[in-house]
Structure formats: C-alpha cells, structure tokens
Chains A and B, each alone.
Chain A
C-alpha cells in the first residue's frame, strides 16, 4: 500500500497523474492517514529540493552571468559610467570611494533631494476597463484614438502593462516603431530602445504584428522576444537571463536565509523582465536594479551588486545607506530593507534588516546607519561584528506589502560599502 501511495504522490508531483489515478489518490488521502502523512513528507522534500538545488543552480548561473557582464562592461564602460553618475545621489554625509567621485566629477550637478522626479505624476495610465499602464520616467508614450479598444504608441522607453481581460474585437494595441502588440488581457512589458522593441510577458500571451500588419508571432508567459527595425528577431525564456547569485549553496546560517533562499529565485525570475538598469562601474562593481510587481498587490524592489574580480566590499557599522524611493510607500506600510551579505567565497554571512520610515526630504530615505540595522532572528553575528567584514555581493530587497509599484531608485553604494579591489 505505501509503495502505491508513494508512487501516486510522486506521479502527481511530476505532473504525470491520470484522472483515474488522481481519484484513487484522493480516496487514499481521505481514508488512510498514512497517505496524508506521505503527501506531507514528499511535499516537504519537494520544497527542500527547490531550496537546495536552487541555491547551487543560481550560483552556477551567476558565474556565467558575471563572465558575460564583464565582457559587455569593457565595451560599454563609458556609457555605464555616465549611467551610474546619473543614478548615484550625491550627498555629503557618507563615505565615498575615489572612483565614484571621479565619476561624479564628470557628471552634471545632481539636483537636491526635493527635486527627485516623481514617478507617479503622469506615469500611470488607468484605462476605462481598469487596465493599468505604468511608464518609466523617460518613456515616450502617447494615447491615440482607436476605433475599438485602446491604442497606445510607445516611441521610446519602457512601459509595464497590467491589462484586464477584454473582448478580442476591442484589444489594447501598443504600437512601437517596429511592432504592434495586440493584447486581450495579460501582464507584460514593452521596451523600445536603439531601434529595437523587446516584449517580455509575465502572464498570458501577446500577439505581435509587424508595422505593416503581418503577424510576427506570439509571446507566451515567461518568454521574451526582441525585434529590430531590420526584422532581426530574437527570443528566449525569461529564465535564460539569470541574475547574479554568487553563493554556492553552503550551509545557511539561519532560517531567515532559508526564507530568502526560497523566495529569491522566484523574485529574481520576475525581475528578469523588469530590470531597469544594469550597473557596471569602473571600479569593478556590477549589478542590476529592478522592480518586481507581485501577483496581486505588492512589489519587491530588488538590487544586486557583486564584484567582477577577486575583490570585496568592506562593511562598517558607521557607514550609511541613502535610499531613494521613487514613489511614497502607502501610509502605514511596513517597508523592510533587507541586505543579504555573502562572503568572499560566496557563502552567506548574514542578513541585515532595517525598518524604513520614509520622512523628510521627499522620498529620499537618507542616512540609514548600518549599525542601526538589526540582524535576522537566527543570524549568527551582531552588526558590530561585521566591522571590516569582506563581502563580495549584496542583495537588497525593499518589501512593501501594499506597494504595487514602489520603486527603489538607488542605494548609495558608496555610502554603504567601501569597495576594496
């Protein structure tokens, strides 16, 4: 009997159960307490496998990713430096690295914190059926008259669309210089840049047509497709673009690590379609910055940084993080900043948490002192012990339960961690 129970449960978890076998398993679960105990057992094993295999798989992918980014960084160094200069918020109360100062010196003067361009104003467009189109600050989006449905023209930049189910004869059309997208209910993003349109679909599917109206294809959930003006077409699974994840599956220090190990692969998988900046600093720091809307009503803003070569950051409790939120979190939200620190071998060191209380100068949450963060409940080190700790990567998550599109502008890396390369 127990062999049969195990076989049925494992077949169910492999997606190989017939209707008859499902009915049989259901009967066993109703009538035999041993069957439900086995289902609990195999379910625990399945989620543990996801956790343990996920950590090592992401480490492998991170190594490949770093190699690819290193090559790209050498070509795009000048552009990346300008990007970083624009994104890093200058402030006088922290520690800055010389290399960053060099970058800042070449950049235009940064505006004061109050002048942070608000993301909300004019950025979110709600259509009559409740569909929400959110555009990035610099996206050029126009609404055009349409005989049926809605018609948007995206000339440049990126938009994220959460489109309610609608009739096939009243679709949402998104027109770019290269493509026309027809949508009858899905979540996806479109980016137009450098003569290329890239579509990434999170849920549902999007039909693509050429500018002449010919059907180009269909992008399904979990896929991206990129088309340039000359008709060059590339596509792939969003999972192919692994982000940096340098730890190697070494022993977790506590259950908070377990919590984040379990959730981060999924978060990062979503982030792949939502990265709004990749960072390649002249001093060897690489990273990515993105906003990850959840399935319903929350968002994870995620950033990740790592060193390109055999370098490290030095953490000091007196250093400060300056965080720029591009949208205010809703009143009463609990917003946690989580820093996941890994050591030189990519092994987990500890998590640091800070309860963010945005106040004062716009949404610039300035001056969070590392020493004021708290270590996770099962962390094995105090913050003070981290002084001088060498870390090769930092993953940060800002977690707001009701913040659908809260965006993390930038964490002042230079104030938080000193690069020592």
Chain B
C-alpha cells in the first residue's frame, strides 16, 4: 500500500490515457475479452494502490504499467480453468517491444473504424457482435445461426480484414488531403 493516495483527477487522467494500451496489451496476452477486462480492472486497482511507485517519466511509467499488466494477465490465465495455449516468455518479451511503439492516429483510427462498422450489416455484424461483445464461442454462434463452425471462423476473419482494409483506405484518403 502506498503512503500517498492518488489525486483522483490525476489517477483518472492516467488511466484514461492508457486505457487503449492496457486493453490491447492484456488482450494480446490472455486472448479472452472478458478476462482482459478483469485484468485491466485489477491493474487499475493496483495502480491506484501503488500510485507512489509509478515512475514520473512517461516511458518508464508505461514500462511499469506493462509489467503490471503482464503479471496480472499471467495470474488471470493461471486461474482460468481448462487447458489453454499460452504464449511463451520469449514471445511475450517480443510483444512488449511491439507495444513500445506508439499507435499513430489513434483517434482517427477509432473514428474510421466506427464509420466502417456503419457499413457492415447483416450476418457479419451479428457474428462480430456475438464474438466481440457477448464473448460467445464460435461453436455456439454456429449452432445459433445454423451454419458450420468453419463458416463462423470465415465470417469473422473476412469481416475483420474488410474492416481493417476500410480503415486503412479511409486513413490514407484523410492523409492525402491537403
């Protein structure tokens, strides 16, 4: 427990600024959106409790935060019942480096994805919602829509690739404007 409590505004600002990083980094490790949210929540609490230990310098603070996220993610995976395929230490170390690189045009990227999603309808959208919002397994989605599970995988893959292409095209167009 730290000897000083965080100023709430300062804490909120820090967590808000790093929310995207925390979620994406934790998800890359645990590969489960619900578990990711638990990890982010536990990490937020840890940050609040250990506020005094947070390095003041930005890059060091992010390294510290990723260290906490990684530890909390691995703890969460250990507690998760069943057999799961986890990334090994070396792969995780590489992943750390990838998340050191800042994400360019974050706000534009989210806005572009929102626009692209507006044009995604029908089965692809409902499958994406089932998987990414409700966290449903592909087998269950397949049973619900009455299609083979391989079809669900294909729908998910194509929809996400189409959205990624749409986002890149939109960002490229925006970047090309004077």
Contacts and interface: CB of A to CB of B under 8 A. Distances in A.
Interface in A1-54: 6-7, 10-17, 19, 22, 26, 29-30, 33, 35-37, 39-54
Contacts of A22: 85
Interface residues of B, number: 66
Nearest to B88: A26
A265 B13 contact: no
B133 A54 contact: yes
A53 B91 contact: no
Contacts of B28: 39-40, 43
Contacts of A35: 94
Contacts of A15: 31, 137-138
- The 10 A-B pairs of least Cβ separation, nearest first, read A36-B98, A29-B91, A43-B28, A47-B23, A22-B85, A255-B16, A377-B13, A44-B24, A40-B98, A43-B24
Interface of B: 1, 5-6, 8-9, 11-13, 15-17, 19-20, 23-25, 27-28, 31, 33-34, 36-38, 40-42, 45, 48-49, 85, 87-88, 90-91, 94-95, 97-99, 101, 103, 109-111, 113-114, 117, 125, 128-129, 131-134, 137-138, 149, 152-153, 156-157, 160-161, 163-164
Given A36-B94, A50-B132, A401-B49, A45 B8 contact: no
The size class of the interface chain A forms with chain B is 35 or more
A102 to B, nearest CB: 38
Given A19-B85, A40-B28, A353 B133 contact: no
Interface string A49-61: 1111110010000
Interface in A227-260: 239, 249, 251, 254-256, 258-259
Contacts of A30: 88, 90-91, 94
Q: Which of A48, A249, A378 has the most chain B CB atoms inside 10 A of its CB?
A: A48
Contact of B41 (A39, A50, A265, A295): A295
B157 A262 contact: no
Which secondary structure characterizes the binding site on chain A?
helix
A376 B12 contact: yes
Given A15-B137, A43-B25, A6 B8 contact: no
A40 B41 contact: no
B111 A46 contact: no
Interface of A: 6-7, 10-17, 19, 22, 26, 29-30, 33, 35-37, 39-54, 57, 239, 249, 251, 254-256, 258-259, 262-263, 265-266, 294-298, 332, 334, 336, 353, 355, 374, 376-378, 401-402
Contact of A296 (B27, B37, B42, B164): B42
B20 A13 contact: no
Which secondary structure characterizes the binding site on chain B?
helix
A47 B24 contact: yes
Given A36-B94, A40-B101, A334-B8, 7 more contacts: A15-B137, A15-B138, A35-B94, A39-B28, A44-B24, A45-B113, A47-B27
B110 A29 contact: no
26 contacts: A14-B152, A16-B149, A29-B87, A29-B94, A40-B28, A40-B95, A40-B98, A43-B27, A43-B28, A45-B160, A48-B109, A48-B113, A49-B113, A50-B33, A53-B132, A54-B133, A259-B15, A266-B34, A266-B37, A295-B38, A297-B45, A334-B48, A336-B12, A355-B8, A374-B9, A376-B16
Nearest to A51: B110
Contacts of B27: 43, 46-47
Nearest to A338: B12
Given A43-B27, A45-B160, A401-B49, A53 B37 contact: no
A351 to B, nearest CB: 9
Nearest to A49: B132
A166 to B, nearest CB: 16
B91 to A, nearest CB: 4
A196 B19 CA distance: 42
Contact of A53 (B97, B128, B149): B128
Given A36-B94, A298-B45, A255 B128 contact: no
Contacts of A265: 133
